[in-house]
């Protein structure tokens, strides 16, 4: 066992996180898998409520496989990266039909499921089955990049190859589940993105970045790009009952599979044409305040335009008690509309 693995395992006894909602004895592989998918790009503190709610709605793999995609997306709404939810759902159906509803515990079977890469498959089988498999999620990349002073950004395949090499080298043959949880916990709580707590770190004695006092230089940062600004109009078609028109977005692209207000380019000609296309008798009644919604690669300025749509029936939903999965800007607009309409 490497020194890093030994020191981490010693530290884990006292300091590791052992009471997260997806941790149990014995481990429940469905819970572990779900948490690993939710934790991709998202922090533990955000994931906890979503996880508890998801498990309440879909307590096991069979319940998930038999659920409607809309119900799954509604439980995911707000977590972002919706392809993760669609892939979870697709995977559960494959597990039901191909593996008789029993979660596979074989690495290649897991890798064959949609949305599961090498690191997630390793994490699930390590945490749930104590299999000796390496992982390389964001936290582990950072710890190893500092410990071994790996230069270069993660977008380089050379860097990723080097990090996988170190991840494999440190993965112990025994106590693998504790080691995996330990290195993830170290990255999340000690070797943090900013200001790592090196004085509390169990592996500081051999950490190359710490020894050179260069912790802040690793991992190599990406050159910051200024995010482009885009804009769009969101049309709030309201019929006489005050119901709102929502359309399901295509699975590909942003907010894939969620239910959204009609979106179009923010210019008067396109807005007018879109309104007439939807309902020849519809007219604009007012605009609500514009707001900015941030994506990882650009900012979107959203201008909500309220339109009265006489006779609108198909695709119109009562806002109160709506249980469809909605993108954050649509949800925000419907809330604003509700508060404007309150006496």
Chain contacts with ligand SF4 (rule: CB under 6 A): 143, 146-147, 190-191, 196, 198, 201, 203-204, 207, 209-210, 215
Q: What is the CA radius of gyration of the chain?
A: 24
- Among residues 10 and 272, whose Cβ is nearest to ligand SF4? 10
Residue with tokens 């300025």: 301
- Among residues 210 and 249, whose Cβ is nearest to ligand SF4? 210
- Minimum separation from the CB atom of position 202 to ligand SF4 (A): 8
Three-class DSSP category at 330: helix
Catalytic residue among 6, 14, 36, 229: 36
Three-class DSSP category at 163: helix
Annotation marks residue 36 as catalytic? yes
How far apart (Å, rounded) are the C-alpha atoms in residues 216 and 194? 7
Instruction: Look up residue 225 and give its two tokens.
Output: 């790009």
- Among residues 213 and 314, whose Cβ is nearest to ligand SF4? 213
How far apart (Å, rounded) are the C-alpha atoms in residues 225 and 298? 10
- Minimum separation from the CB atom of position 218 to ligand SF4 (A): 7
- Among residues 184 and 207, whose Cβ is nearest to ligand SF4? 207
How far apart (Å, rounded) are the C-alpha atoms in residues 193 and 247? 39
- Among residues 182 and 246, whose Cβ is nearest to ligand SF4? 182
Number of H helices, E strands in the chain: 14, 9
- Minimum separation from the CB atom of position 215 to ligand SF4 (A): 4
- Minimum separation from the CB atom of position 95 to ligand SF4 (A): 37
Instruction: Look up residue 27 and give its two tokens.
Output: 């481990």
How far apart (Å, rounded) are the C-alpha atoms in residues 236 and 98? 43
- Minimum separation from the CB atom of position 171 to ligand SF4 (A): 17
- Among residues 203 and 305, whose Cβ is nearest to ligand SF4? 203
What angle (nearest 5°) sits at the alpha carbon of residue 25, between those of residues 142 and 2?
40
- Minimum separation from the CB atom of position 178 to ligand SF4 (A): 18
- Minimum separation from the CB atom of position 167 to ligand SF4 (A): 14
- Among residues 138 and 315, whose Cβ is nearest to ligand SF4? 138
- The 10 Å Cβ neighbour count of residue 13 is 10
How far apart (Å, rounded) are the C-alpha atoms in residues 65 and 23? 22
Instruction: Look up residue 113 and give its two tokens.
Output: 């499921």
How far apart (Å, rounded) are the C-alpha atoms in residues 215 and 147? 9
List all residues 6 or more positions away from 132 whose beta carbon is below 8 Å from its beta carbon. 126, 171, 172, 173, 174, 176
Three-class DSSP category at 134: coil
Cβ(57)–Cβ(18) below 8 Å: no
Q: Specify burial of residue 235 (Cβ count, 10 A radius: 0-12, 13-18, 19+).
A: buried
Residues with active-site annotation: 36
């Amino acid at each position: 066992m490497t020194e890093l693995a030994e020191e981490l395992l010693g530290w884990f006894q006292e300091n590791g996180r052992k009471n997260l909602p997806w941790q149990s004895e014995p481990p429940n592989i469905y819970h572990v898998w779900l948490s690993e998918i939710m934790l991709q790009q998202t922090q533990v503190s955000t994931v906890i409520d979503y996880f508890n709610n998801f498990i309440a709605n879909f307590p096991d793999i069979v319940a998930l496989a038999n659920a409607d995609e809309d119900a799954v997306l509604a439980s995911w709404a707000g977590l972002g990266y919706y392809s993760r939810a669609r892939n979870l759902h697709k995977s559960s159906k494959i597990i039901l039909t191909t593996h008789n509803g029993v979660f596979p515990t074989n690495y290649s079977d897991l890798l064959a499921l949609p949305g599961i890469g090498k690191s997630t498959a390793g994490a699930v089988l390590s945490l749930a089955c104590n299999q000796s498999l390496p992982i390389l999620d964001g936290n582990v990349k950072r710890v190893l990049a500092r410990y071994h002073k790996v230069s270069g950004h993660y977008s380089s395949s050379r860097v990723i190859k080097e990090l996988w090499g170190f991840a494999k080298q440190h993965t112990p043959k025994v106590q693998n589940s504790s080691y995996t949880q330990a290195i993830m916990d170290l990255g999340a709580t000690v070797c943090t993105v900013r200001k790592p707590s090196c004085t509390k770190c169990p592996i500081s004695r051999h950490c190359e970045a710490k020894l050179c006092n260069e912790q802040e230089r690793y991992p190599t940062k990406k050159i910051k790009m200024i995010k482009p600004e885009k804009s769009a109009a969101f049309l709030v078609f309201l019929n006489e009952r005050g119901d709102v028109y929502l359309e399901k977005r295509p699975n590909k692209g942003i907010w894939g599979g969620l239910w959204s207000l009609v979106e179009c380019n923010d210019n008067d000609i396109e807005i007018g044409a879109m309104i007439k296309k939807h309902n020849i008798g519809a007219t604009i009644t007012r605009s609500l305040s514009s707001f900015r919604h941030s994506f990882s690669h650009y900012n979107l300025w959203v201008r909500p335009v309220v339109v009265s749509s006489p006779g609108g029936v198909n695709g119109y939903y009562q806002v109160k008690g709506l249980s469809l999965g909605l993108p954050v800007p649509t949800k925000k607009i419907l809330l604003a509309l509700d508060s404007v309409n309150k006496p």
